[in-house]
């Protein structure tokens, strides 16, 4: 009996801690909440693979050039960084460092103005922000709605 209780408790914890949005608007709202809560790793987890690839490939190019060549660029991108931090830099850590220092990232609106579906697997969620309307491209990949920041444009 104890095993069943432990199993159910762990299952419930895993089910609710790995929140997957059921709709495009839920994905956009979840993304805004993760940024507002400074849960940048969770925000990374709801990005499309192509969005993650942008950061991964940027880091790969930086590593290809090497610390001496890219040190000024790295410092301007993410602030003071040691060579050891640079060597351990991943796409995810680059995303976290960039998004944590982006001024408007923490205050992305959750006020959904509209949602359009150009295709079955692509939605454009329009958020009403203080800076105007912000279009958030959301893609359905393997049944899960994910944020596509590779197509993100500034507020209209």
Report percent pLDDT > 90 for the chain: 69
Instruction: State the DSSP string of 47-90.
Output: B-HHHHHHHHHHHHHHHHH-HHHHHHHHHHHHSS--HHHHHT--
pTM of the predicted structure, to 2 decimals: 0.80
Nearest to 61 by CA among 92, 101, 89: 89
pLDDT surpassing 80 at residue 48? yes
Which pLDDT score is estimated for 132?
87
The Cα–Cα gap between 97 and 28 comes to 21
- Please give the domain boundaries of the chain with CATH numbers for all domains: 24-149 (3.10.450)
**Average pLDDT of 44-54?**
96
């Amino acid at each position: 009996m104890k095993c069943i209780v432990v199993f159910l408790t762990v299952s419930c914890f895993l089910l609710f801690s790995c929140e997957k949005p059921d709709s495009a608007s839920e994905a956009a709202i979840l993304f805004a909440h993760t940024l507002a809560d400074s849960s940048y790793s969770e925000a990374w987890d709801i990005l499309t693979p192509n969005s993650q690839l942008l950061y991964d490939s940027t880091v790969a190019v930086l590593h290809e050039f090497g610390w001496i060549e890219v040190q000024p660029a790295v410092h301007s991108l993410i602030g003071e960084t040691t060579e050891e931090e640079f060597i351990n830099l991943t796409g995810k850590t680059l995303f976290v460092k960039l998004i944590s220092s982006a001024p408007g990232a923490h205050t992305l609106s959750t006020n959904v103005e509209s949602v359009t579906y150009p295709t079955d697997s692509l939605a454009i969620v329009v958020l009403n922000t203080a800076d105007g309307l912000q279009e958030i491209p959301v893609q359905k990949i393997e049944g899960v709605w994910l944020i596509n920041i590779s197509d993100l444009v500034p507020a209209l």
